[in-house]
Amino acid sequence: MKITIASGKGGTGKTTISTNLVSYMASLGKKVVLADLDVEEPNSALFLNAKIFNKQDSNKLVPSWNSADCTLCGECEANCAFNAILHLPDEIRVFDKLCHSCYACSELCPTNSLPMMPVKIGQITHFNCNEFDLIEGRLDLGQEMAVPLIAQTMEYVDKNYLEHIKLLDAPPGTSCPVIEASRFSDFVILVTESTPFGLNDLKLAVETMKVLKQNYGVIINRFGIGNDGVEKYCKNENIPIITKVKNDKNVALLYSNGKLIYNEIEHFKNSLDEIVSFIEDLK
């Protein structure tokens, strides 16, 4: 089973929930693995006693110009929908960062002068924590496209963890990276907070999940701060509220130090119990 933990708004507690949940579920004897798919700013490893087990480069394939047989016909430029190829009088120039790896230029080139070659876009790191593993995708700075790395990180998890419950910590927002991290899951947990920003972005996230035809539920974090807009919205829309995590400065203090919460704060652990039993019921 695969569960994505997402949110429209950033900083609502996705990573806090993900890291505590994976650790708590493992301590209950469950087979569980966490994937950090917030590849632009991966943070999960900061909160877990994580030791590196394996590290590999993540590549994407882009065309690489081979001048020997090239007739400079310009077909490649015409076949690229992303302006990633420039046909100059005496040269074909490829802009790697704009390339979507569709292969059109390469395979339609009459002289096979644009073979696809790997370029590094980031790293996939496999960590061992005591009772479970963490797989982290980390985008190289300056790279624009997170989606291929997210897909490769998920592939690594799918290949290596057949029986496990897979928890996926998604990036914030509602655009391509979140969609990639959510579309193949069995269920999406949307973490929000009971503030107007939280509500506004929850609505956007819910609409996105509807387009993806995903099943989803909501965790209201920092419950008690702000107002009751989120709760009312969920009730009106019949969206299950999985748990409400109380607003508590002590949670923020532990978080600020990179510490897990559930061993220290009872109400937080109770919330995790509610999440665990919700997940059990999904099976």
Partner 1 sequence: MKEVVIISGKGGTGKTSLSASFSYLEGSNAIVCDCDVDAANMHLLLDANFANRRDFYSGELAVIDPSKCTNCGHCFDVCRFDAISEGEDSHIVDQISCEGCHYCSRICPVEAISMQTQKVGDIYTSDIKNASKMVHAKLGFAAENSGKLVAKVKSEAAKLAVEEDRGFIITDGSPGVGCPVISSLSGADLVVLVTEATVSGLHDLKRVYELTESFNLKCVCVINKYDLNDAVTRDIEDFLIDKKVKLVAKIPYDENFTKAMAVAQSIVEFDKECELSQIILQAWNKIKNKTKEEDR
Show the 3-state SS of 51-120.
EEEEEEEEEEEEECCCCCCCCCCCHHHHHCCCCCEEEECCEEEECHHHCCCCCHHHHHCCCCCCCEEEEE
**Residue nearer to partner 1 on the CB measure, 179 or 219:** 179
Show Cβ contacts of residue 175 under 8 Å, excluding neighbours closer than 6 positions: none
Among 28, 86, 88, 252, binds partner 1 (CB under 8 A): 252
CA–CA gap between residue 143 and residue 247 (Å, rounded): 36
By CB under 8 A, residue 137 contacts partner 1: no
By CB under 8 A, residue 175 contacts partner 1: yes
By CB under 8 A, residue 258 contacts partner 1: yes
> Within a 10 A sphere around the Cβ of 117, how many other Cβ atoms?
15
By CB under 8 A, residue 144 contacts partner 1: yes
Among 32, 179, 189, 219, binds partner 1 (CB under 8 A): 179
By CB under 8 A, residue 74 contacts partner 1: no
Instruction: Enumerate residues 202-221 that contact partner 1 by CB under 8 A.
Output: 204, 207-208, 210-212
Kindly give the interhelix angle for 196-211 and 229-236, rounded to the nearest 10 degrees. 30
> Helix, strand, or coil here: 246?
strand
By CB under 8 A, residue 67 contacts partner 1: no
Tell me the closest approach of the beta carbon of residue 101 to partner 1, in angstroms. Answer: 6
Site for partner 1 (CB under 8 A): how many residues? 58
Among 236, 257, 281, 283, binds partner 1 (CB under 8 A): 257
Token pair for 149: 């790395």
Instruction: Give the residue among 179, 156, 206, 186 at the shortest CA–CA distance from 54.
Output: 156
CA–CA gap between residue 256 and residue 250 (Å, rounded): 10
**Residue nearer to partner 1 on the CB measure, 26 or 178:** 178
Show Cβ contacts of residue 64 under 8 Å, excluding neighbours closer than 6 positions: 94, 114, 115, 116, 117
Instruction: Report whether 126 contacts 51 (CB < 8 A).
Output: no
CA–CA gap between residue 229 and residue 224 (Å, rounded): 11
By CB under 8 A, residue 183 contacts partner 1: yes
By CB under 8 A, residue 121 contacts partner 1: no
Tell me the closest approach of the beta carbon of residue 226 to partner 1, in angstroms. Answer: 5
By CB under 8 A, residue 196 contacts partner 1: yes
Among 92, 145, 245, 272, binds partner 1 (CB under 8 A): 145
Instruction: Enumerate residues 97-116 that contact partner 1 by CB under 8 A.
Output: 100-104, 107-108
Binding site for partner 1 (CB under 8 A): 8-12, 15, 40-41, 43, 46-47, 79, 81-82, 100-104, 107-108, 139, 141-146, 171-177, 179, 183, 195-197, 200-201, 204, 207-208, 210-212, 225-227, 249, 252-253, 255-258
